[in-house]
Chain A
């Protein structure tokens, strides 16, 4: 059996909250941005990550890349434990992991020419500036669909979609194995978004990339992903093959999320037909007890307020954390 490329076990990130107490110590209050998340990402697959604003998607993405330190838990990359790796060893692993951000405007240094922006990761990892790197950058530029004359130009001379291509070229110049796309197409117009989604899929095939694709647009995630994970207030509440998630979601939150997506045709208007969940997402600072979704769940039971539901696998490959779901694995491998 193939080993996962990325595997996390009970990974958490708690941010300490601002204030300090009388003795100058932090008063211990924390925001649980990511709370005991366990996941595996197989080589060559795209795992989609969805959930509402503030649920911890970007924090989880950054944890996987070791851009921020986990509070607790373990992180395995390509079979090796990297949770506490430091210095040169960490730098070496980082070569193989890259990130593409949402905001093509903010993510690129406005004073650097495109060539230098894309070459920078090469230089950081010890390459020397020269004809060799220039050639490598030009060929990368070509692969992301930009003309060679873009090399000497600056980010502001490009449209949003072109800037996103530059960001992708920069992320892929070191031939990474794993790429986190954090809302990489969210700020783009739909016509351009489709171009970039196609490009990401082409590059994945050509370069054998593994993606964590973070986005709030559920239809884009469905299109690009093999499997999808759903987060709510720092917890992964459901993970499954995309067809299982979209056609037969098990968690009431996943069901509500999918039901809330606007119709693709006026004949399928959802108003009055689909279950709506009321209210807003509670604060991650003081999350509800038990199941974090219980304050908005239409099927809430007493146990949901008390006990955190564990992530179980009622159907092989389909993981869900909900008290409504019978925990005894039906035919799941033990």
Chain B
């Protein structure tokens, strides 16, 4: 049995121009100790997917239109808020996209970590403090005991991000959802944080969903990858497959449009246009208006996410016509 099953998750938001669907029919499963990368450009639905799993979207304006989330055999999407609170923390824990807004400026970081633990476990004050220091130490805050009484503003951006991770790990979750955990950070700090997440996975066997718009972060960390576009999953495969044999033209575009650190290119291969807003999605395949391979059939119907090759799904009716022939298929 997998640790997490997400089936047909569809979440809407009530807006001035009616209800929009931020994510549609998102499905995937995750095993213990596995790192799933969710990649996509701004507005593709990554955060809404994470927040829907956590049951953290305010309703209204948000609404779970359909689908279910099953964690360790329990259906989270049926649970009351009280029941969900027992899952959040020791079950699933999340690092939010904006670290500055998620730490409370008026409490010391030590108090905030201890508060998180206190909400789920009964520990003596001495043990509580010990656990908080241990967590700060784990995430690489130097002289952790002395920094316990510091306030968020006394720390650098990278340190605040590590405090957020310490808080998320304080209850030893089985699943950590990290929403853009390094986007605001410099590359040297990003490298430290990514190393840290992988170390923690190895040490505690925790599963991780890492959300990013950066294919490099995916290459560094993920076991499996989910590519999202305009609210839908358009490709899913093991990480090496996504990089070696992307089947969806959008995934190929994402890989090609970033310049290389080692090879010269005269010109970047840009994808024309921009990601459509939820109210302006084109009919049929949502990428069709930007896709250089689109044919009339592409705008006729929404292509389903289909298993096209072993352990490799994509939502493109032309995927197999366009993909290079696999060398395995050439063998006599």
Contact = CB atoms under 8 A, between A and B. Distances in A.
Contacts of A109: none
B187 A257 contact: yes
Contacts of B194: 262, 271
B230 to A, nearest CB: 12
A3 to B, nearest CB: 28
B109 to A, nearest CB: 15
A161 B41 CA distance: 13
Contacts of B267: 198, 201
A276 B191 contact: yes
B72 interface: no
Nearest to B290: A191
A10 to B, nearest CB: 27
B136 to A, nearest CB: 15
B295 interface: no
A266 interface: yes
B261 interface: yes
A264 B274 contact: no
Most B C-beta atoms less than 10 A away, residue of A263, A276, A278: A263
B191 A190 contact: no
B195 interface: yes
A270 B191 contact: yes
Interface string B83-103: 000000000000000000000
Interface residues of A, number: 47
Interface centre among B187, B213, B265, B275 (most CB of A within 10 A): B187
Contact of A223 (B187, B214, B265, B271): B265
A265 B257 CA distance: 14
Interface in B217-260: 217, 219-220, 222, 239-240, 243, 253-254, 257-260
A169 B217 CA distance: 33
Q: Among the interface residues B189, B215, B219, B268, which one has the most CB atoms of the partner chain A within 10 A?
A: B268
B264 to A, nearest CB: 8
Nearest to B220: A262
Interface in A193-246: 193-195, 197-198, 201, 216, 218-220, 222-223, 246
B311 interface: no
Given A223-B259, A266-B243, A280-B159, A260 B188 contact: yes
A193 B257 contact: yes
Contacts of B257: 190-191, 193-194
Given A219-B261, A271-B195, A189 B42 contact: yes
Interface string A38-51: 00000000000000
A51 to B, nearest CB: 9
Contacts of A197: 259, 268, 270
Interface of B: 41-42, 142, 156-159, 186-192, 194-195, 198, 213-217, 219-220, 222, 239-240, 243, 253-254, 257-262, 265, 267-272, 274-275, 290
